[in-house]
Amino acid sequence: MPLDIKICGLKTPEALGAALVGGATHFGFIFFDKSPRNITPDDAGRLRAAALGGAAAPTTEREVEALAVAVTVDAGDAFLDEIVHAVMPDMLQLHGKESPQRVAEVKARYDLPVMKAFSIAEAADLEKIEPYRGVADRFLFDAKPPKGAELPGGNGVPFDWRVLAGLEPSIDYMLSGGLNASNIAEALRRVAPPGIDISSGVESAPGEKDVGLIEDFFHAVRDAEA
Ligand SMILES: O=C(O)c1ccccc1NCC(=O)[C@H](O)[C@H](O)COP(=O)(O)O
């Protein structure tokens, strides 16, 4: 199976263009006002539209097919309505404490696939996914936020990937948390995840995506795959 690659926290056409040219299968927008990657639904909608037909327009079929992911944290219906209306995302990523019932409700309300994020530190944390199986379409395994961190994700810290060793092979997920061009080869070798997700590792400062770092990351992924 080809590896899914999500570049998250995009705010500029340049960064989105670099992600698409590099071969991202997913691109993420963060709708969380405490995040340095926060973007308004209207701005994300414009960026997405530009990616489909403007300055950052894709030139290959693979780029056109990349999926827009809207990332929210315990968002209510009114905010989700606004995001879905403005962005027309292909997938919703729920990165808060959403219950299985809430995930099911969101899926049904928007008729969109949902990726549910979980903070992982030890093998026991994986038990939390059980009630979400058959409800969420995909999981995202991220590190637990460091003490005092304001963000549930995007903290640039990895977790111990060995805890994924016992995971059932049928579970579809993205590996996330502190990935970068230097550690992605080891992550792919050790974990062989169906997908990977990166944000801080392609930034020059919190929330500032760097086109050069995005390119370096894709080169590292392609070298590791070769
Ligand atoms: O990135 C954020 O600022 C963020 C804020 C609130 C909820 C989720 C957030 N990010 C979600 C992602 O999917 C990130 O890509 C993921 O946590 C990995 O981030 P990083 O460790 O920085 O690569």
Distance CA 21, CA 18 (A): 5
| CA-nearest residue, atom 14 of ligand 1 | 154
65 token code pair: 């097919």
Residue 169 pLDDT: 92
Residue 151 backbone dihedrals phi, psi, to 5 degrees: -105, 140
Distance CA 170, CA 173 (A): 9
Quick count: other Cβ atoms within 10 Å of Cβ 80? 21
Decide if 40 contacts 58 (C-beta within 8 A): no
Q: Which atom, in ligand 1's list, is nearest to the CA of 8?
A: 15
Quick count: other Cβ atoms within 10 Å of Cβ 156? 18
Which pTM value belongs to this model? 0.95
Distance CA 55, CA 64 (A): 14
Residue 127 pLDDT: 96
Homologous superfamily (CATH) of 4-225 is: Aldolase class I (3.20.20.70)
Whole-number Å distance, alpha carbon 68 to ligand 1 midpoint, is 15
Element (H, E) at 183: none
Whole-number Å distance, alpha carbon 53 to ligand 1 midpoint, is 27
The residues spanned by each domain of the chain are 4-225
Whole-number Å distance, alpha carbon 113 to ligand 1 midpoint, is 19
Q: Which residues of the chain have pLDDT under 50?
A: 55
Whole-number Å distance, alpha carbon 155 to ligand 1 midpoint, is 6
Note the pLDDT tens digit of each residue in 33-51. Answer: 999 999 999 999 999 988 7
Q: Is 180 in the pocket of ligand 1 (CB under 6 A)?
A: no
Q: Which atom, in ligand 1's list, is nearest to the CA of 96?
A: 7
What ipTM was estimated for this complex? 0.98
